[in-house]
Amino acid sequence: MMNKIVVIGSLNIDLITKVGRLPVQGETMLVREQENSFGGKGANQAVAAARQGADVTFIGAVGNDENGVAFKKLLRQENINTDYIVSKNKSTGSAVILLEENGHNTILVNGGANMCLNIADIQKAKQSIQEADVVVAQLEVPSETVTEAFKIAKQAGVMTILNPAPVRQSLDKTLIRYTDLVIPNETEAASLTNEKPTTDLSIIEHTIYQDLKAQGLNNVIITLGDKGVYYNVLNKSELLPIFKVNTLDTTAAGDTFIGTIISEIHTDFSNLEDVLLRSRVASSIAVSREGAIASIPYREDIVEQLAQRNISAGVL
């Protein structure tokens, strides 16, 4: 049974700039290639969930420009409800992605219309939030907007999942109170706990997770790049390995992982292991392809990969 999802998030036009390596301060260097594509963490996660078969509604903001029109058209083509994407007197959000030869990326985001999404916009979508199974958000839109959506969700008994990106040093206490599950990467998890980024399991489990728990974030999944995925949910913890592939572009790996999780996670976490298996396979497919939305797999891609690897999952 696939979930009914509401995504509150960002819609960005990405300028992907391919470089051999990151420049040092003051250096001028040639790029290998540049291209524009649709992206933004919100859009990526919504598309990932929709391609798994979930019923997805998007709450977001675009500018009164051609990019805004094109973005809504794209999401509708992905079978995503765009009724609550509002137009603002700002340009549609954008991002510059510096993609290195080894597949790692560094991203600079211009929020644009995304940062104008407000509480009134959330209130207009109140019924859709209340009728959802899962509401997911990132922090590429104002924090108070996300908090309002999560408050409405929790009052209706809807599961809330937060991807705390871009990285923050702290989260609003009210937002934490309304969050059921938080999914950061190792850098975001470290920032939230005033620690240095690490993939060391001992530090993650005994320092970073314990600090997150003390803040009220009891259920946590931390993505660790090529070191795997650590989770501590309902007091059960484990480090899970990634599925190794030839990495071309990591841009949408985390968003693909999250979008796959939200597509069919049970609100009592009873199918967490199966969902994490599918999500790791999904992100491994994404990093083996170039682009953001273009790299996100469909449900049949994951089924095929599981069959090729002779892996069984109870959700299949």
Q: Which of 211, 291, 223 is nearest to 252 (CA)?
A: 291
- Alpha-carbon span 294 to 177, nearest angstrom: 35
User: For this structure, is 255 an active site residue?
Assistant: yes
Do residues 282 and 257 lie in contact, with contact meaning Cβ atoms separated by under 8 Å? yes
Which of 133, 255, 268, 301 is the catalytic position? 255
State the burial class of residue 150 (Cβ atoms within 10 Å of its Cβ: 0-12, 13-18, 19+).
buried
Q: Which of 178, 163, 159 is nearest to 279 (CA)?
A: 163
Length of the chain: 316
For helices 299-308 and 272-287, what crossing angle results, to 10°? 100
Sequence-separated (6 or more) residues with CB below 8 Å from residue 137: 7, 8, 9, 42, 146, 149, 150, 160, 161, 162, 163
- In whole angstroms, how large is the CA radius of gyration of the chain? 18
Q: How many CB atoms lie within 10 A of CB 106?
A: 12
**Which residues carry out catalysis?**
255
